[in-house]
Amino acid sequence: MNKWRFALQKRWFGYLGVAILFAIICVMLSNWQLSRRDEREVEIDRVNRNFDATPVQIEDVLPTLDGFNENDRWLPVEVTGTYLPEKELLVRNRPHDGQPGYEILTPLQLDNGNIFVVNRGWIPTGNDADRPESVPRPPSGEVTVVARLKAGEAEIKGRGAPEGQLATIRLDDAAATFGQPTYTGAYGLLASESPESPDPRPAEVKRPEPDEGPHLSYAFQWIIFALMAFGFLGYAVREEYRRVNSDDPEENRRATERARKKALRVTDADIEDELLDGKH
Q: H/E element holding 221? A: helix 215-244
Q: How far apart are CA 125 and CA 222, in angstroms?
A: 43
Q: Residue 256: its pLDDT value, please?
A: 63
Q: Residue 96: its pLDDT value, please?
A: 87
Which domains does the chain carry? 9-34+213-273 (no CATH), 52-194 (2.40.50)
Q: Residue 253: its pLDDT value, please?
A: 62
Q: Residue 89: its pLDDT value, please?
A: 95
Q: Residue 130: its pLDDT value, please?
A: 74
Q: For the whole model, what pTM was predicted? A: 0.72
> From the first residue on, what is the mean pLDDT of each consecutive set of 10 residues in the chain (280 residues)?
70 88 95 92 92 94 94 96 95 88 95 95 83 89 96 85 88 92 96 90 86 88 93 85 69 62 61 57
Contacts of 130 (CB under 8 A, 6+ apart): 162
Q: How far apart are CA 79 and CA 143, in angstroms?
A: 8
Q: How far apart are CA 242 and CA 236, in angstroms?
A: 10
Q: Residue 248: its pLDDT value, please?
A: 59
Among 146, 145, 151, 152, residue whose Cα is nearest residue 72: 151
Q: Residue 108: its pLDDT value, please?
A: 97
Q: Residue 29: its pLDDT value, please?
A: 95
The string of DSSP letters for 2-62 reads GGGGGGGSHHHHHHHHHHHHHHHHHHHHHHHHHHHHHHHHHHHHHHHHHTTSPPEEHHHH-
